[in-house]
Amino acid sequence: MATTATKTTAPAQEQQANGNGNGEQKTRHSEVGHKSLLKSDDLYQNDPQYILDTSVYPREPESMKELREITAKHPWNLMTTSADEGQFLNMLIKLIGAKKTMEIGVYTGYSLLATALALPEDGTILAMDINRENYELGLPCINKAGVGHKIDFREGPALPVLDDLVADKEQHGSFDFAFVDADKDNYLSYHERLLKLVRPGGLIGYDNTLWNGSVVLPDDAPMRKYIRFYRDFVLALNSALAADDRVEICQLPVGDGVTLCRRVK
């Protein structure tokens, strides 16, 4: 995987981080044609909690809040989906009217619960994770919310489960939505299989496609070991998705970045 990140020089990084003190931003954000969805750097610098405090936490279902609080005490809590992304997934699933879904990478189940709550009573989620223990930590919240019956949890690596599904022609094009939030080195392998399993017009969401911001750091920048390890896979994924005419894509700066792929072929 020899994909190279866009090089950002130190002064450019500094400039991106600084406004002019009058509330105006001298950054690429404010140049015409360079506005991202989150237009103002003030939102990041002055109150990164604003969206959460104003629009997310006050509307968060009790079961999701409880699950989020249980997860916060777990040593690997960095892995959880953020509450704003959970709210986004919940809305998205309702908007596309998804019924048959899958999730790769469950952890304690925050995004799983966001999905389960959005689905109709007879909706389903095939949920895969190599770790059942963490799933069971959040399961009481899922059951309390009355949505446990929608979930078919499979313990173990996701790839063989996908291969079994692909081997069954009846499963082709049968899924409305898939959320992929697991081992980044396998995302492109998942992608090939999911393009058979998700229906044309259906959606795949790949999580963490900004990989902690490391996608724009120079190769020699200091990075935590696991960030560096998966960074090339995330860069390769982003390039591959951008060039893949079987899908329409939209990469959103929600959470750690989520890329939506709508199957068109």
Could you list the residues that contact ligand SAM (CB under 6 A)? 79-81, 104-108, 110-111, 128-131, 134, 157-158, 181-183, 186
Residue 257 CB, nearest distance to ligand SAM (Å)?
A: 13
Q: Between residues 129 and 207, which has the closer beta carbon with respect to Ca ion?
A: 207
Q: Between residues 19 and 180, which has the closer beta carbon with respect to ligand SAM?
A: 180
Q: Between residues 13 and 215, which has the closer beta carbon with respect to ligand SAM?
A: 215
Q: Is residue 41 a contact residue for Ca ion (CB under 5 A)? A: no
Q: Between residues 40 and 131, which has the closer beta carbon with respect to ligand SAM?
A: 131
Tokens coding 25? 């931003």
Alpha helices in the chain (DSSP H): 10-17, 41-45, 50-51, 62-72, 83-96, 110-118, 132-144, 158-167, 187-197, 225-242
The residue whose two tokens read 């105006």 is 24
Q: Dihedral sign for Cα 5, 6, 11, 14, please.
A: negative
Q: Is residue 208 a contact residue for Ca ion (CB under 5 A)? A: yes
Stretch that binds Ca ion, among 15-23, 58-66, 145-153, 201-209 (CB under 5 A): 201-209
CA dist., res. 3 & res. 242, Å (int):
13
Write the CB contacts of 194 (distance below 8 Å, at least 6 apart in sequence): 162, 175, 178, 180, 204
Contact indicator for 52, 93 with CB cutoff of 8 Å: no
The residue whose two tokens read 């190769």 is 219
Stretch that binds Ca ion, among 36-44, 63-71, 135-143, 181-189 (CB under 5 A): 181-189
Residue 104 CB, nearest distance to ligand SAM (Å)?
A: 6
Stretch that binds Ca ion, among 12-20, 93-101, 199-207, 215-223 (CB under 5 A): 199-207
Residue 63 binding: pick among Ca ion, ligand SAM, none (C-beta 5-8 Å cut-off by kind): none
Q: Between residues 25 and 208, which has the closer beta carbon with respect to Ca ion?
A: 208
Residue 41 CB, nearest distance to ligand SAM (Å)?
A: 27
Residue 131 binding: pick among Ca ion, ligand SAM, none (C-beta 5-8 Å cut-off by kind): ligand SAM
Closest by alpha carbon to 238, among 197, 201, 206, 202? 206
Q: Which 3 state secondary structure label does DSSP give 167?
A: helix
Q: Is residue 181 a contact residue for Ca ion (CB under 5 A)? A: yes
From residue 184, alpha-carbon distances to 15, 188, 229 in Å are 31, 8, 10
Interface pick for Ca ion out of 60, 103, 176, 207 (rule CB under 5 A) = 207
Residue 210 CB, nearest distance to Ca ion (Å)?
A: 11
Q: Which amino acid is at 175?
A: F
From residue 17, alpha-carbon distances to 7, 34, 43, 176, 238 in Å are 16, 15, 12, 39, 24
Q: Between residues 104 and 260, which has the closer beta carbon with respect to ligand SAM?
A: 104
Binding region for Ca ion (CB under 5 A): 181, 207-208
